[in-house]
Amino acid sequence: GRTGYPRNRHWNMAKAANLGPAHSDGRTGWRWRWSGDVVLPDTVYQKNSFLFFTQVFNDPIHGHIELPPLLVKIIDTPQFQRLRKIKQLGGGYYVFPGASHNRFEHSVGVGHLAGELVKALRAKQLEEPSLNSESLINDRDVLCVQIAGLCHDLGKSYTVFQYYMHYIEDVRWLHHHEDASILMFDHLVDDNKLTPVMNEYGLITEGDNENDLVFIKEMIKGSVKNNSPLNEQLYKGRNNEKSFLYEIVANKQNGIDVDKFDYFARDCHHLGIQNNFDHRRFIVFARVCNVDGQLHICSRDKEMANLYDMFHTRNSLHRRAYQHRVKMAVEIMIKDALLKADQDQHFQIKWAKGKACRLSKAKKHMEAYTNLTGRGFEVWCLKLTTHLTFKTSEVVYTCTLFVLFVAKFDYGKNNEDPIRNYTYFYSKFNPTIGFKIKPEEVSNLLPECFSEKHIRVYWKRRNDKRLEDAKKFTLCQAYSNGGPRAKCGPEATCEWPCLLSWQKHRENAKNLFIN
């Protein structure tokens, strides 16, 4: 942050010239240069700092944000620039005309917010001299957290590709984008020879003791569920005294992290949906507290309503945009095209030195996966339909004529309340000790059920008499598996507690509705 900036101070050219480039105004961390009649500040840190000069980005959500030069070097790589070609909401752009934003700006925003939160936590740590010195946040920690926020979505591809990969057995283990992000981060560092550059900025890239590359990748992967003994080492990149740093970028404890802060604000802005959660207020009240011998990021007890607004916004976005029925229909059609294309020998992803691989093998070759973007997908589909082995008018189908899709809506923790069960708070009178909110302190207006599932049937042909058979089959399965109520219609809906049994009915469904 720009602490110490002298507001409304204007010096003339003569005074600036007398000051000289190597002088300061006595404020640690600032040096001045002149431009015309006004002296402009360059953000410069302490003499031995590795951050040096920052670069300013003009973001429509967060305004003017500053990123250190190492993050700019990462942004300027081909592996990161590919995010410009990947739509943030995938098929949602076919439903919401304004949802044209990409993964690139989201990643930059997360890197910025990660830095804002970790710096705010460090500032509050300095106000508490009683804290263990090993838990104090240093410059290396700040830079690593910013890099993890910037690179957390490196493994993302066109949204449907993630859905499609789940259907390919040998790459199903990479279905979660965090695994691909770690592989892509390694490829980015190696391909652009960034290891010596990171060393110049003070990062430790070798050895097992607090290796910063390991630390960054662990933060991308996300925090572990902390059910281990207090004396057990949770991570390799940092010791347990700094385990709270893993809750900033991808918080698996309660889902409150800067990734959601950015995409809630950014997606709502482009979708035209109101965002009731104020992430800036959360950052102001966040601090590191002791919870039963372990350090966690906690918020003020009075901020409980603001956090409930965050989870309500999450639920609303999933209902109105992320799992919109038309959006999912578009992505199902694209998934069918991908499955068809993966079987064709002419449909391959080319990469360096004339090498090529099938679509389903791309995640095993990061050079090929770099070319796997939404824009490239449109070009490939055009080539696919005009190739001699395909007829342009050919209709692409999977083995069945309908798709059963379960839309799940919750607050991120299935049917549990994430605030009451997984979030820690502190009080005004004891800001160093964290605690959970008591049940009697939670509002009576909250829902009793925090999760519901909608079963949808997507039929791939119009005016087909078998559509009614598909509806009846879906309702039959819903009732037979304990669904208390269901409604007949194009979208079958029920409260269905058991979803695993759908797998054993899929083969029966295929026999009923084979093309």
Which tokens in the block code for residue 110?
């997360």
pLDDT tops 80 at residue 168: no
Of 13 and 134, which is predicted with more confidence?
134
Of 126 and 62, which is predicted with more confidence?
62
> Residue 90 to residues 51, 79, 332: CA-CA distances in angstroms?
35, 19, 12
Closest CA to 303 of 319, 288, 321, 283: 283
Q: Where are the alpha helices (DSSP H) in 169-249?
A: 177-191, 195-200, 212-221
Neighbours of 261 (CB within 10 A): 25
Whether 362 and 356 have beta carbons less than 8 Å apart is answered as no
Closest CA to 342 of 319, 361, 323: 361
Neighbours of 194 (CB within 10 A): 19
Q: Residue 324 catalytic? A: no
Domain spans, the chain: 13-43
Whether 328 and 456 have beta carbons less than 8 Å apart is answered as yes
Pairing mode of beta strands 38-43, 356-357: unpaired
Which tokens in the block code for residue 345?
């020998």
* DSSP state letter for 508: H
pLDDT tops 70 at residue 229: no
Which tokens in the block code for residue 25?
């105004």
What is the Rg, in whole angstroms, of the alpha carbon atoms belonging to the chain?
26
> Residue 510 to residues 259, 371, 456, 503, 506: CA-CA distances in angstroms?
39, 34, 16, 11, 6
Neighbours of 452 (CB within 10 A): 17
Closest CA to 156 of 172, 171, 178: 178
Helix (H, G, I), strand (E, B) or coil at 473: helix
What are 68-82's pLDDT values in tens digits? 999 999 999 999 999
Contacts of 48 (CB under 8 A, 6+ apart): none
Task: Please tell me the distance from the alpha carbon of residue 32 to that of residue 79, in angstroms, as a whole number.
Answer: 35
Closest CA to 86 of 166, 169, 23, 180: 180
Q: Where are the alpha helices (DSSP H) in 286-369?
A: 304-317, 325-342, 366-369
What percent of the chain is predicted at pLDDT more than 70? 71
Contacts of 308 (CB under 8 A, 6+ apart): 419, 443, 446
Which tokens in the block code for residue 305?
């309503």
Task: Please tell me the distance from the alpha carbon of residue 485 to that of residue 508, in angstroms, as a whole number.
Answer: 23
48 burial via Cβ count (<10 Å: 0-12, 13-18, 19+): exposed
pLDDT tops 70 at residue 326: yes
Task: Find the helix or strand (DSSP H, E) in which 452 lies.
Answer: strand 451-459
The pLDDT, as a whole number, for residue 333 is 83
Band of the pLDDT at 19, cuts 50, 70, 90? very low
pLDDT tops 50 at residue 208: yes
Q: What is the DSSP string of 276-305?
A: ---HHHHHHH-EEEEETTEEEEEEEGGGHH
Closest CA to 252 of 433, 418, 437: 418
Options 175, 176, 312, 318, the catalytic residue? 175
Entry pTM = 0.79
Closest CA to 116 of 76, 71, 66: 66
Of 211 and 468, which is predicted with more confidence?
211
Neighbours of 101 (CB within 10 A): 20
Which tokens in the block code for residue 76?
């300027």
Task: Please tell me the distance from the alpha carbon of residue 265 to that of residue 212, in angstroms, as a whole number.
Answer: 30
**Most confident among 260-264, 359-363, 476-480, 489-493 (mean pLDDT):** 260-264
Mean pLDDT of 139-161: 88
The pLDDT, as a whole number, for residue 360 is 76
Chain-centre distance of CA 232, in angstroms? 28
* DSSP state letter for 124: H
Mean pLDDT of 389-418: 67
Band of the pLDDT at 28, cuts 50, 70, 90? very low
Single-letter amino acid, residue 363? K
Rounded to 5°, the CA angle 52-53-55 comes to: 140
Band of the pLDDT at 259, cuts 50, 70, 90? very high
> What does pLDDT average to over the chain?
77
What are 477-489's pLDDT values in tens digits? 666 655 544 443 3
Task: Please tell me the distance from the alpha carbon of residue 278 to that of residue 307, in angstroms, as a whole number.
Answer: 9
Which tokens in the block code for residue 408?
């799940």
Of 383 and 332, which is predicted with more confidence?
332
